[in-house]
Chains A and B, each alone.
Chain A
């Protein structure tokens, strides 16, 4: 005998009944109720923790059972078998396996899936996206931290001419526009916008001893252009941001930006190395030494005191490590 609450599906009235099995039938008896139905016509809810399970009849009536062990005993004398997922959810081994598998999949997706998808995405996005983003980004930067360059026009043109006469390994000369700006906050630096436009800051030109070192820095930036790193980063951080917003969204959608920033810093290190390698090869291809880029890095480090302490949040890999790589690549054959 199993106690249950019977509801007719037409009102909220509770009727206490007892359930039993007789042959192929389920027998329901209690307060003014006495009937039997073939067990084959009864739908049994799956088990969800300690929630009550219901036995549902075709006319919309049902019995809510709270004695789960009693129900299991009753079900054993019938042809009922729990569903596959129902059993998996209660199988401790499978739960542990799921746990490990989910973590492993998450790590693999983050480590390999995301960079691959961002790389492919950056390759196939229509150029108009990069263009629009770059125009907007430059507009924002110009209002905030960038001011017009104080370099004289001739110097700018001379540098542009040298830059545009570099021979690319993949053939042709750089198509990137070269823009000059000044920024007391950023100091000696150069960076690339998503559409490939390279922005050179005045301090970079003054800090570098000779134009060859400036060209070395630009060669590195061309590495970012070639790999479409700007778009890749954007895609990666959007994807990570979207994921966290979706995942943490139930609790709070506000912290989504923080993990994305950490992730981005980590990714940039890889991309910086790729850009270094591309820049070094480009320099060799033009009969220049990759050591120039190492020298330029040294100068940059000296002009930004304290920046060589590469921390967890640092965008660039440790500069010492990069210089070592570059000086080694001097002997590497151009590829």
Chain B
């Protein structure tokens, strides 16, 4: 993995300072109380309270995330999140209905969704970053609207007409758009991963899927042969139990593939992205292990299913703790030096308007 995730730095930054690991101090049991009370309030208010619950959830996770002895924080307003959710719901319903019911309206609705979506996503990034802070200094996102149309519409279109051959390229462009336009206070983030590196991770993913399909094919053909053999031995009668067993084994193999490929891809691509992102002169390191991520995902899934969902808070805390603690900041200079952006430097379309038009559409 070294060649994929290793930082390709044009100028080697020498740093005498020790890396600052990110740490997460949240606990599942502690989060459970917050989670279940907010869940009940959400149900009782028919979902309206979910926006307040989301703010609390993000604050719980952000405030328990520490860097150099200080916590992150989230400042989003629940009302904006509620507005964002209503918009997202309306779009989802429109999209679903138009896809299922193929009529003359389908194209019109899809067109509206396509035109509005990039603008919404860009405002959503802006909302999320503007409302995130560390040591009282806020993050910012200054990506242009034109840039978001290029990244989502133009590249999305190119991906479709090239039958997804350009998907890794589009992913790289999206991350560059997000990270190159992000700021912490006045300090800009920069993104250095090249499209070639994204292609490498995607090719690995493709190879893993192909290998698994071949394996499953071999297993499937074998199972069919055994079944036919058994049927012949029993004089042409089909034993449903045997058929069910065969199907279950194949289904189990499929689930195994499904649950391990996702986390593996996530580990590789997350490492690639963060190892090639810098905040000013400070480097970021991310070292997620695919095996540990598979283990956490699979065991979480099993435990959530066995507890009818009640394990959810522990599952979330476990996953977040592992992901956060595998990251660290390698400072090039003192972390005390960051300065907040001056309000006047933001211009007319700065965060003041952001507070009017921005909302969060993510769940």
Interface residues of A (CB under 8 A from B): 5, 7-14, 48-52, 54, 60-62, 64, 85, 88-90, 92, 94-95, 98-99, 101-103, 105-106, 128-129, 132, 246-252, 254-255, 258-259, 305-307, 309
> How big is the B interface, by class?
35 or more
Known: A11-B336, A12-B185, A305-B237. A248 touches B32 (CB 8 A): no
**Is B174 on the interface with A (CB-CB < 8 A)?**
no
Q: Contact check: which of A7, A89, A98 meets B136 at CB < 8 Å?
A: A7
- Contact indicator B40/A89 (Cβ below 8 Å): no
- Contact indicator A51/B63 (Cβ below 8 Å): yes
Report how far A183 CA is from B265 CA in the complex, Å: 41
Report how far A254 CA is from B52 CA in the complex, Å: 28
B contact residues around A94 at 8 Å (CB) = 37
Contact with A along B92-117 (1 / 0, CB 8 A): 00000000111000000000000000
A contact residues around B159 at 8 Å (CB) = none
Q: A188: shortest Cβ distance to chain B, in Å?
A: 14
Report how far A62 CA is from B63 CA in the complex, Å: 14
B contact residues around A54 at 8 Å (CB) = 73
- Contact indicator A251/B301 (Cβ below 8 Å): yes
- Contact indicator A12/B337 (Cβ below 8 Å): yes
B101, B136, B240 — which one has the most chain A CB atoms within 10 A of its CB? B136
A contact residues around B340 at 8 Å (CB) = 9-11
- Contact indicator A251/B300 (Cβ below 8 Å): yes
- Contact indicator A62/B136 (Cβ below 8 Å): yes
**Is B284 on the interface with A (CB-CB < 8 A)?**
no
Q: A178: shortest Cβ distance to chain B, in Å?
A: 27
- Contact indicator A61/B136 (Cβ below 8 Å): yes
- Contact indicator B37/A85 (Cβ below 8 Å): yes
Q: A298: shortest Cβ distance to chain B, in Å?
A: 18
Chain A interface helix/strand/loop/mixed: mixed
Report how far A85 CA is from B60 CA in the complex, Å: 14
Known: A52-B71, A250-B316, A254-B259. A98 touches B39 (CB 8 A): yes
Known: A11-B338, A102-B43. A51 touches B60 (CB 8 A): yes
- Contact indicator B259/A252 (Cβ below 8 Å): yes
- Contact indicator A9/B136 (Cβ below 8 Å): yes
- Contact indicator A11/B301 (Cβ below 8 Å): no
Spot the interface stretch: B143-151, B267-275, B304-312: B304-312
A–B Cβ pairs within 8 angstroms, 27 of them:
A7-B135, A8-B136, A9-B137, A12-B134, A12-B135, A12-B337, A12-B338, A12-B339, A13-B135, A13-B336, A48-B63, A49-B30, A49-B64, A50-B25, A51-B25, A51-B71, A85-B38, A89-B33, A95-B32, A98-B40, A99-B36, A101-B40, A105-B43, A128-B101, A129-B101, A251-B300, A252-B258
Report how far A236 CA is from B259 CA in the complex, Å: 25
- Contact indicator A99/B310 (Cβ below 8 Å): yes
**Is B31 on the interface with A (CB-CB < 8 A)?**
yes
Q: Contact check: which of B38, B239, B297, B339 meets A11 at CB < 8 Å?
A: B339
Closest to A61 in B: B136
A-B complex: 6 closest residue pairs judged by Cβ atoms = A51-B63, A7-B136, A49-B30, A12-B135, A98-B40, A12-B338
**Is B230 on the interface with A (CB-CB < 8 A)?**
no
Report how far A49 CA is from B60 CA in the complex, Å: 8
Q: A262: shortest Cβ distance to chain B, in Å?
A: 11
**Is B41 on the interface with A (CB-CB < 8 A)?**
yes
B contact residues around A129 at 8 Å (CB) = 100-101
Known: A11-B137, A132-B102, A305-B237. A51 touches B336 (CB 8 A): no
Closest to A90 in B: B33
Q: B222: shortest Cβ distance to chain A, in Å?
A: 21
A contact residues around B36 at 8 Å (CB) = 95, 98-99, 102
Report how far A96 CA is from B58 CA in the complex, Å: 23
- Contact indicator A12/B262 (Cβ below 8 Å): no
B281-340 CB contacts (< 8 Å) to partner A: 297, 300-301, 304-305, 308-310, 312, 315-316, 319, 335-340
Q: A241: shortest Cβ distance to chain B, in Å?
A: 12
A contact residues around B238 at 8 Å (CB) = 305-306
Q: Contact check: which of B25, B241, B309, B338 meets A247 at CB < 8 Å?
A: B309
**Is B34 on the interface with A (CB-CB < 8 A)?**
yes
Known: A5-B70, A61-B136, A129-B100. A49 touches B31 (CB 8 A): yes
**Is B171 on the interface with A (CB-CB < 8 A)?**
no
A contact residues around B259 at 8 Å (CB) = 252, 254-255
Q: A16: shortest Cβ distance to chain B, in Å?
A: 11
B contact residues around A90 at 8 Å (CB) = 33
Report how far A254 CA is from B241 CA in the complex, Å: 26
A9, A49, A251 — which one has the most chain B CB atoms within 10 A of its CB? A251
- Contact indicator B262/A252 (Cβ below 8 Å): yes
Q: A303: shortest Cβ distance to chain B, in Å?
A: 12
B contact residues around A85 at 8 Å (CB) = 37-38, 41, 52
Q: A42: shortest Cβ distance to chain B, in Å?
A: 15
A contact residues around B337 at 8 Å (CB) = 11-12
- Contact indicator B319/A251 (Cβ below 8 Å): yes
